[in-house]
Structure 1
Amino acid sequence: MSWVTVCDVRDIPVLGARRVARPRGMDVALFRNEADEVFALLDRCPHRGGPLSQGIVFGRGVACPLHNWTIGLDTGRAQAPDEGTTPAFQVRVVEGAVQLLSEELATLALDLQPPVAGPCAAARIPLGVA
């Protein structure tokens, strides 16, 4: 397994998040709770695709900013009665450096798309089509 350093643990606010861009696929959201544990999930709620990195972190969960679903930071699973899962990435902290597996960054959840929202979402035209 090949680990890649993505940031320093101090770059993730306590009870907050930081996004990591990937060359392909959606961003990965890194979370840090009050116990200084670090977690990594795809930055997409399984419900309506809300950006989990903008949610409220508490304990070992994050509340989606769109509809307040609670997603487990360690599993990516929605808390009952809600259902669904967002992909979780393996993460480790070595001497303050936050690391993710390069294989997962390159392959995990590449088929999921970010939500398209806002007043122009229905009128979206593919690039190159006029």
Structure 2
Amino acid sequence: MNMQTKNWIDVGSLSDIPRQGARCVKNGEMTIAIFRTADDRLFALEDKCPHKNGPLSQGIVHDGCVTCPLHNWVISLETGAAQGADEGETASFPVKLDGETVLLGL
């Protein structure tokens, strides 16, 4: 089996996710936050800041990043990497749109 193959899971429609906001889905013990930017791009990250495990889904989405609500760490939505002088990374997942349906790759 090709290890690149993803299971694409329907996690709702684009309208379920507020612009510059997030919606969470569970994957076993992990919570994954699906973010929507102002220009309707979608990103998926584990809902856990690499600093103190803050809930990124409750942060502010801006300029392709999310700011953690606990200590204002800025995390790249594309890579999950902390920006600036901060170090660390949270898991990122592929996400795509099929019409209005949001699909998460696990």
* SS in structure 2 at match of 1:77: coil
Residue 118 (structure 1) aligns with = none
- Residue correspondences, number: 101
Q: Whole-Å Cα distance in 2 between the matches of residues 4 and 86 of structure 1?
A: 20
Instruction: Output one character per residue of 1:59-115: Cα deviation in whole Å (capped at 9) or x when no partner.
Output: 2000000000000000000002000000000111110111012xx2xxxxxxxxxxx
* SS in structure 2 at match of 1:44: coil
Residue 54 (structure 1) aligns with = 58
- The structure 1 residue matched to 2:35, chosen from 31, 38, 41, is 31
Given the alignment of the two structures, is residue 9 of structure 1 paired with residue 4 of structure 2, yes or no? no
1:25 positional shift: 2.1
> Please, which runs of 5 or more residues in structure 2 have no aligned partner?
none
Question: Percent identical across equivalent pairs?
Answer: 50
Residue 117 (structure 1) aligns with = none
Q: Which structure features the higher share of strand residues? A: 2
Instruction: Output one character per residue of 1:16-65: Cα deviation in whole Å (capped at 9) or x when no partner.
Output: 0100012x222100000111100000000000000000000012000000
- The structure 1 residue matched to 2:70, chosen from 43, 66, 69, is 66
TM normalised by structure 1 equals 0.75
Given the alignment of the two structures, is residue 85 of structure 1 paired with residue 89 of structure 2, yes or no? yes
* Runs of at least 4 residues off by over 6 Å: none
* SS in structure 1 at match of 2:30: coil
Q: Whole-Å Cα distance in 2 between the matches of residues 5 and 34 of structure 1?
A: 22
Q: Which structure features the higher share of helix residues? A: 1
> Please, which runs of 5 or more residues in structure 1 have no aligned partner?
105-130
Q: Whole-Å Cα distance in 1 between the matches of residues 74 and 32 of structure 2?
A: 17
TM normalised by structure 2 equals 0.92
Q: Whole-Å Cα distance in 1 between the matches of residues 52 and 24 of structure 2?
A: 19
Report the aligned-residue RMSD: 0.8
Q: Which amino acid aligns with 1:51?
A: P
